[in-house]
Structure 1
């Protein structure tokens, strides 16, 4: 009987904790990552619609991006001491340059790591048309997604990738697409003797969903 009571108390405590966890829409600039133990949820599907395999090809040059999403991922910060849950994108990519040389291919890592932050692509910060970089032709309520991109062989570089989604038109044979921009996000400290050039910057390219 004592064991049954303890089990009942444990279940009730768990349910009460879950009930008290605030759920906040991911697009809420006034509160993003501010509320302890909150669940920042992709309520409007801004991240979900990016899930899949996307391909850019121009002559010999190509870029393949695989994106997945982990729901209610536990995110913990040491400074400040803070934790919450969030829906987050993660992914890997393959890039072949204009000469047909494979520069990066991390796609075989897509299912190996459970922690989204261990992947070459991760994040899911939502921005509107007034956020930098500004988008002059975005709709009033259109949102873009900003993620971090890492060069697996040059981890001292940090890049931001801005993703804009287009749903496509099956009736007119227009595929679902994303337009991306990849730029270095910060000044890097390059270790002595290591290469200092960028390998994955793109001003603006369009990828079709596969």
Structure 2
């Protein structure tokens, strides 16, 4: 009898675990049970995958992005975009994390140079987009300068300009750094900020 009861409990636990809640990536997970899954049901993240390059005079920023399915984030799972980058200024490579792209970390969101999955509508105050189509979706992720440790928002919009696939991007909202007098000054954010257009390779 005791064995039968224990087997029943195990079966019920397995059943409920397999019935975890799946919600769309555009929905908040607030109030959902542990183990829920924010899934990219409409494949909004797919179009952002790829290699993009921004060049302006002596500056060049290369970014490689890819979509990762059902990644553990805290006590639940999410589809996310991860990425890495290379920044060159005056012919000198300032930073290059591209070799980390295919490393599988236990927490992809925290470890990669670029990661996230925030969906932006065209009326968001984060980045107004009067030229966007009414139902167009954009994406916001976070980008970390691996040298200084400073984080920033990386907002992305996929579009076509003069027949060329491009990503319009914006890097802003740099995180504050704490500096105590008598210690070395913190390093400045090494990547370009502001708005720019990146060509898809």
Q: 1:112-134, CA deviations, whole angstroms, 9 ceiling, x for partnerless residues?
A: 23331211111111111222222
Aligned-pair CA distance for 1:48: 1.5
- Counterpart of 2:3? none
8 Å Cα contact 2:39/2:78 also seen in 1: yes
Please state whether the residue corresponding to 1:137 is helix, strand or coil.
Answer: coil
Contact 2:148 2:189 in 1 (8 A): no
Partner residue, 2:169: 180
Contact 2:66 2:81 in 1 (8 A): yes
Q: Structure 1: any 5+ residue segments left out of the alignment?
A: 1-5, 77-82
1:57 deviates by 2.1
Is 1:92 aligned to 2:84, yes or no?
A: yes
1:198 is aligned to 2:197: no
Matches within 5 A, 1:16-165: 16-18=16-18, 20-28=19-27, 31-36=28-33, 37-76=35-74, 83-97=75-89, 99-114=90-105, 115-116=107-108, 117-131=110-124, 132-155=126-149, 157-165=150-158
Q: Deviations over 1:145-191 (max 9, x none)?
A: 11111111111x1211001112x48xx7x232211111133322146
Q: CA deviation at 1:65?
A: 0.4
Structure 1 residues 41-92: Cα deviation after superposition (integer angstroms, max 9, x where no partner): 111222121111111223332111011121111111xxxxxx2111011111
Q: Against the structure 1 CA distance between its residues 160 and 52, is the aligned structure 2 distance closer, same or farther, given a 3 Å change threshold?
A: same
CA RMSD of aligned residues (A): 2.6
SS at match of 2:66: strand
Distance in 1 separating the partners of 2:123 and 2:133: 11
Q: 2: CA distance between counterparts of 1:15 and 1:62?
A: 52
Q: Measure the CA separation in 2 of the matches of 1:65 and 1:84.
A: 27
User: How many equivalent residue pairs?
Assistant: 190
Following superposition, the deviation at residue 104 of structure 1 comes to 1.0
Contact 1:181 1:201 in 2 (8 A): no
- Report the alpha carbon displacement of residue 33 of structure 1 after superposing the two structures with TM: 4.6
SS of alignment partner, residue 96 of structure 1: strand
Per the normalisation by structure 2, the TM-score is: 0.83
With normalisation by structure 1, the TM-score equals 0.79
